[in-house]
Amino acid sequence: MASHRKSRTPGTRVASIRTPALATAALTSVALLSQTADAAPGDDRPSLEEVEKKVGDLYRQAESATEKYNAAKEKTTKQRKRVDTLLDDVAQRTQKLNEARAELGSYAAAQYRTGAGMPDTATFLLAETPQDVFDQRQVLDRMTGRQKAAVDDYVTQQTETMKKRQEATESLRTLTETQGDLKTAKATVQKKLADARELLSKLTAEEKARLAAIEKRKQEEAARKAAELARQQAAQEQAREEAAQQSGGTSESSGSGSTGSADTPSADAPPADSSYAAKAEKALVFARAQIGKPYVWGATGPGSYDCSGLTQAAWKAAGVSLPRTTYDQVNAGTTVPVSQAQPGDLVFFYDDVTHVGIYIGNGMMIHAPKPGTYVREESIYYDGDSAIHSIVRPA
């Protein structure tokens, strides 16, 4: 009887023995390729890719709202201090106004006792505004020098007190507005995170495993790109050293970086100087010490951080004051090309500049990624090339 087994096409067999790594990769590929076929026809459930994208978008939206929260919180804190200062000033000026009023009142009482008609000083005590006082020119002309001095002091205190009260009222109105912005931003963050958690909670164990496989694949690609950048930077550094040796100089430059963008690298950009390197090392020592601490939106340490809270705290340890939010930090230094990134530089992400990490070299950074994660080292390509917005040298 003839065999029904089909013969192999020559050359199609790669190897008689497959390594565990290849087998695992093959199984992962099959799982990823078949993940959209699990849903029954007409099933409204989103595919795993759609869930991953939606969750990623929600986390980025939450991070954007977090930066708005940080800005509103900082503004609210400053505004509250201003209101407190103004209210203290109003209280002090009110006390001085009362003292001036008491002195003016003593002159009015004296005039009553001497049997005079309508007391001159009483006229001013009845005035509601400083302008009312100055409108009483004829009365003022009949006063003695001491009475006029008392009126001048009273008018001055009344004017300043009214001015400060108005400033305090306006500041209280502004404070109410910033508190409203703070409340709105907080509600937005909480809503986006809740939506992300709800999406993830609907995944089966198998889907969660596939999602982990997708994330692992992204991390491997990011690591490959980081290694490629490290090789490029090493080659540029070697070229600089060789050029310096040929010219009889040194490889170190006094420049602080070349202005450019992440999309237009320049091999001629000078490295950071020794002064910057010393500060950057202090910032990195601090950042490394925070690895393993949880991401908490709005946090600035010491037990937890959000992304901009971490970079701000790291550079503060180096004696450099950075603004609170990513929106402001991105303007707090010199922009340099990705190919010229130096340890300590800040790496900003996304078109709306809502995430930041601190570069440590070799295409890697330390950052506080997102809710549910911890401060960690990761490739600057963790979310793809296009996610990188710019590199900024802050000192």
Query: What are the φ and ψ backbone dihedral angles of 255, each rounded to 5 degrees?
Result: -70, 160
How far apart CA 80 and CA 96 sit, in angstroms, is 24
Contact (CB, 8 A) for 273 and 256: yes
Query: What are the φ and ψ backbone dihedral angles of 151, each rounded to 5 degrees?
Result: -65, -45
Angle at 261 between CA 257 and CA 266, to 5 degrees: 60
Contact (CB, 8 A) for 368 and 230: no
Residue 169 contacts by C-beta under 8 Å, 6 or more apart in sequence?
none
Residue 57 contacts by C-beta under 8 Å, 6 or more apart in sequence?
none
How far apart CA 67 and CA 151 sit, in angstroms, is 53
CB burial of residue 248 (10 Å; 0-12, 13-18, 19+): exposed
- Tell me the catalytic residues: 307, 355, 367
CB burial of residue 310 (10 Å; 0-12, 13-18, 19+): buried
Pairing state between β 346-349 and 376-379? unpaired
How far apart CA 353 and CA 308 sit, in angstroms, is 11
Residue 178 contacts by C-beta under 8 Å, 6 or more apart in sequence?
72, 75, 76, 79
How far apart CA 368 and CA 18 sit, in angstroms, is 39
How far apart CA 314 and CA 40 sit, in angstroms, is 51
How far apart CA 366 and CA 359 sit, in angstroms, is 7
